[in-house]
Copies of this chain bind each other. A is one copy, B any other.
Amino acid sequence: MTSDTRSARLASLRDALARADIDGLLVSSLSNVRYLTGFSGSNALVLVTSRECLLLTDFRYATQVEEEVGDAATVRIEPTSLWLGLWNALQHMTGVDRIGFETGHLLHRDFARLLEQGSRWQWRPQEDLVETLRERKDAGEVAAIEEAVAMAEQALDRTLGKLRAGLTETAVAGILERHLREAGSEAYPFASIVASGPRSALPHARAGDRVLGPGDFVLLDFGAVARGYCSDITRTVVLGRASAEQREVYEIVREANGRASGAVRPGMTGMAADAVAREYIDARGFGEAFGHSLGHGIGLDVHEAPRLARTVEAPLAAGMVVTIEPGIYRPGWGGVRIEDDVLITESGGRVLTSFPRALHEIV
């Protein structure tokens, strides 16, 4: 992250503070901390006011925080408690009385601290002030997501070459994850899903001890992480030759995926995007079997704003990166999901995932 990028983000957040009529924001979400300062450690509090950006962390991160944050924030290494450090710092700030906190990221235990130890200040719950800024990615963020997409696609390509009957789902996850690491993935953005046969109908299956058998659908839903940014991709393949029924369901999902990816553009609501895929699947007779939303934003978190769902009236905007992941799930039989990562540009959706979507039969 360049110094200019950090400055721009802080300036946008300060505008949001002014609109929310607060003098500062206490940031406790680690993803938001990273977005604002570059710090990727596991313990931090950040306070942003009109004049300051203060980052509190502990001794374990003394070296790392210096490398990652540079002059983006005033850093304090706290020997005992970040909260003690916060009270000390606040006492020396003037004009900071009404302070927002992140209602979706602060535990009640810590909220109780604000009321007790921080009773000198007025604490105002805030929703998504930083998350809203994060919705539209800059060029550096898009480049990181593209790297994470490339890692995931390389790993998938190598894994499909090794898929065969007799392996457990967990073993397949191991092959996939090893190739993700070889491709350079820093971490796993979520527990990889490898769901085979009837288990592919469970939208929230993980990898289990089921043994892959001939004729199975094998659904792989996973991602990579590059410079903190996530990719999230799903492909569903068939072990052996697909039956006519498998092919029919698959092609409906593929068409729904392609229609939605082709339709998204700035100004379209999340609801309208969802409807593009949903209405097609519905028209083909499988509406009941598409039991989740079309997609979600990706970035520093693998699930972040915006959402593409039936209830979302907010419009898409250029710079957003979202998943498009329609599916059809038939309990006891199996399921298909095809998920791509799509950048919204002024001229429409640019699909970042280029892995083939044609039905892949492992023969």
* Chain A residues within 8 Å of B, Cβ to Cβ: 41-42, 59-61, 63-64, 101, 103-109, 111-112, 125, 127, 168, 170-171, 173-175, 177-182, 184-188, 191, 202-204, 206-209, 291-292, 331
Contact = CB atoms under 8 A, between A and B. Distances in A.
A154 to B, nearest CB: 12
A6 to B, nearest CB: 22
A105 B180 CA distance: 32
B206 A186 contact: yes
Contact of A103 (B101, B109, B181, B202): B109
A204 B41 contact: yes
B181 A174 contact: yes
A291 B79 CA distance: 12
A63 B202 contact: yes
A208 B291 CA distance: 38
Contacts of A291: 59-60
A202 B108 contact: no
A291 B181 CA distance: 30
A188 B292 CA distance: 26
A181 B203 CA distance: 21
Given A61-B204, A104-B107, A174 B180 contact: yes
Contacts of A105: 107
Contacts of A171: 181-182
Contacts of A168: 184
Given A60-B291, A171-B182, 20 more contacts: A42-B204, A60-B292, A63-B202, A63-B331, A103-B108, A103-B109, A104-B107, A104-B108, A108-B125, A109-B125, A170-B182, A170-B184, A170-B185, A171-B181, A174-B177, A174-B182, A177-B181, A184-B209, A186-B208, A188-B188
A170 B225 CA distance: 12
Contact of A106 (B108, B177, B184, B207): B108
A187 to B, nearest CB: 5
Nearest to A123: B108
Contacts of A101: 108
A60 B174 contact: no
A106 B203 CA distance: 26
A175 B174 CA distance: 9
Contacts of A104: 107-109
Contact of A107 (B59, B106, B191, B206): B106
Contacts of A186: 170, 206-208
A74 B103 CA distance: 30
Nearest to A155: B174
Contacts of A208: 186
26 contacts: A41-B204, A59-B291, A60-B203, A60-B204, A60-B292, A63-B202, A63-B331, A103-B107, A103-B109, A103-B112, A104-B107, A104-B108, A105-B107, A106-B108, A107-B107, A107-B108, A108-B111, A109-B127, A168-B184, A170-B182, A170-B186, A174-B180, A174-B181, A186-B207, A187-B191, A187-B206
